Amino acid sequence: MNTAPARSWTRYLRMLAVFYRTSIQADMEYRVDFFARVIASLLGLLTTVGSLAIAYGYTDNLKGWTFAQAMVLLAVYYLMDGLIEMFVGPNMRQITSQVREGTLDFILLKPVNAQFMASFRLLNIWRAANALVGLGLSVYTISRLSVTMGWAQAIAFALTLLAGMAIVYAFWLVLVTLTFWFVRVDNIEQIVWQAFETGRYPVEIYPGWLRGTLTYLIPVVFIITVPATALAGRLSGPMLAASLIVAALLVALASAFWRFGLRSYTGASA
Amino acid sequence: MRYWLEVYRINLRVAWAMLMQYRFAVLIWAVWGFVGPLVSLAVWSAAAQARGSDVAAGAQTFSRGDFAAYFLVYMIFSHLTMSWDAFEFAYRVRTGSLSPQLLRPIHPIHADASYNIGFKVITSIVLLPVWVVLFLVLHPAMPAPGIHLALSVPALVLAAVTRYVWQYALATIAFWTTRVDAINQFYFVLDSFLAGRIAPIALMPGAIAVIARFTPFWYMGAFPVELALGRLSIDRALSGMALQAVWLIIGVIVFRLIWASGVKQYSAVGA
């Protein structure tokens, strides 16, 4: 357990800079991968846009969403997917395999907050492919909707994106903590992705029970729909506040669960 | 024949033991297959509702119940025909774990195919009640069972074998490059549009609808589905199965050619 004395913010920021710098240095070895990823990302986008375009060929409106609005949602989906794969995914996968191999001990023994170390140690810059594709699509769709981007709107968008990332992080951290007790669940992240996948499309198209699940149980709405609404300049103040509160609450709960899990963690190797 | 039955019997036992060890993980993968078809169903149900009438293209019409039937049958058939070797194989080449498999007297495809069959048997038993519930909840417009449904069984088996062989041929590209992400994604795009995964082929814009029915993708995907739903004539069903057989044979030839030259230039990684 972490017994280090309270340290200043600057120390953690310096550490974060070192973590990310070394991660980027390591990633430089795999440059060519990036182009393959961009191509894969664009092909994936082609499939989703195509499937929506075909459906919109038979109607100009799906449950109140025009094609252009649905595109904004898709853009945010890709952006969020890229950000999660860059910042959250590598760390969460690392913890899962460290629990299995018993190397989590090395992190727990370091004189820093274990959750900080486990959550921010890695950064995968090549996974930015989806984020870049999402960013490009965001700019394009916003220009088509003839929305002018003001500062307030840009800040609201950034805040809701951060809140969305924090919510995904909280869910993933809970799943990762579960591996302290059930080691053999390597693909547990698929549960997160299955819920996330549904966020590509307006939540209104789903039947009531699923819509409820995606709003309250796994708040995909806060992960994708709310940032997309912010990007389109239609976000209300209370909604922005709700998104930040939900994110803060879930991160707090997940952190408490992580600390509870750590108490029952026993190393897997000698 | 007896020899191969014995080979598969033993491989299946091994596969069964391996799958049982990872029951939970296996189940998560199996449920993964639900997401795509159900999302497509939601999109098309919304489209049918927005129009206030059936979605029609040419001679084919789809009501909400028809979409439910199409995507539910597609979900089950897709589960029974799926293969993931294209992803698995590159990993094995990269880590060098392929090497011991190459040293065995029997081609690795047989152990993999057994594992594939074992996976489908186990997961289908577990998923069966879920499928039943989905049928009860989503009210698909299913035609009365008859000759079409019976014919869809051999069509489904042919689709599964054909897809397996083509995917394995694709997997073998990993002998040259282990960065197969973009290649697999390209295959997935073709599969989505041409196999009727994201929408019934009849609803595709003109050119795609025509081209798709000549590609192997449609025969590995939507062909048995449309057959089971009585959307194809008996003549079309029989000629379709003949074409499935043709694509299977071409697949086997392509696979053997790629494998023969790939294995020659494969050099092991790892100790």
Confidence band, pLDDT 50/70/90 cuts, at residue B271:
very low
Give the model's pLDDT for residue A185: 59
Give the model's pLDDT for residue B140: 92
Give the model's pLDDT for residue B51: 83
Shortest Cα distance, chain A CAs vs residue B35, angstroms:
7
Contact A46 B189 (CB under 8 A): yes
Shortest Cα distance, chain B CAs vs residue A151, angstroms:
34
Residue in B31, B42, B50 closest to A59 by CB: B50
ipTM given for this complex: 0.81
Q: Is B105 helix (H, G, I), strand (E, B) or coil?
A: coil
Give the model's pLDDT for residue B1: 81
Bridge partners for B61 per DSSP: B56
Chain A residue with CA closest to B206: the answer is A54
On the question of pLDDT at B31 being above 90, the answer is no
CA distance B165 to A15: 50
Give the model's pLDDT for residue A257: 93
Task: Calculate mean pLDDT across residues B181-201.
Answer: 87
On the question of pLDDT at A219 being above 80, the answer is yes
Give the model's pLDDT for residue A123: 85
DSSP classification of residue A62 = B
Give the model's pLDDT for residue B269: 57
Give the model's pLDDT for residue B235: 93
Residue A249, C-beta contacts closer than 8 angstroms, at least 6 positions apart? none
Give the model's pLDDT for residue A267: 60
For the ranges A97-101, B37-41, B85-89, B216-220, the maximum mean pLDDT occurs at B216-220
On the question of pLDDT at A2 being above 60, the answer is no
The answer to whether A209 contacts chain B (CB < 8 Å) is no
CA distance A184 to B77: 29
Select the more confidently predicted residue: A126 or A227. Answer: A227
Residue in B28, B184, B205 closest to A191 by CB: B28
Residue A170, C-beta contacts closer than 8 angstroms, at least 6 positions apart? A247, A250, A251, A253, A254
Task: Calculate mean pLDDT across residues B49-71.
Answer: 86
pLDDT digits (tens, 9 = 90+) for A9-57: 888 888 888 888 888 888 777 777 777 778 888 888 888 888 889 999 8
On the question of pLDDT at A137 being above 80, the answer is yes
**Percent of chain B's residues with pLDDT above 70:** 99
Bridge partners for A62 per DSSP: A65
Contact B29 A190 (CB under 8 A): yes
Give the model's pLDDT for residue A1: 44
Residue in B22, B35, B50 closest to A61 by CB: B50
pLDDT digits (tens, 9 = 90+) for B127-136: 898 899 999 9
The answer to whether A151 contacts chain B (CB < 8 Å) is no
Residue in B22, B46, B51 closest to A205 by CB: B46
For B90-103, b/e burial (b = at least 16 CB within 10 A) is bebbeeeebbeeee
Residue B5, C-beta contacts closer than 8 angstroms, at least 6 positions apart? none
pLDDT digits (tens, 9 = 90+) for A84-128: 988 988 888 888 888 877 778 777 878 778 888 888 888 888 778
What residue ranges do the domains of chain A occupy? 9-263
Task: Calculate mean pLDDT across residues B188-206.
Answer: 89
On the question of pLDDT at A270 being above 60, the answer is no
Give the model's pLDDT for residue B194: 92
Contact between A185 and B21 under an 8 Å Cβ cutoff? The reply is: no
Mean pLDDT of chain B: 87
Contact A198 B35 (CB under 8 A): yes
Element (H, E) at B156: helix B147-171
Amino acid, single-letter form, for residue A174? V
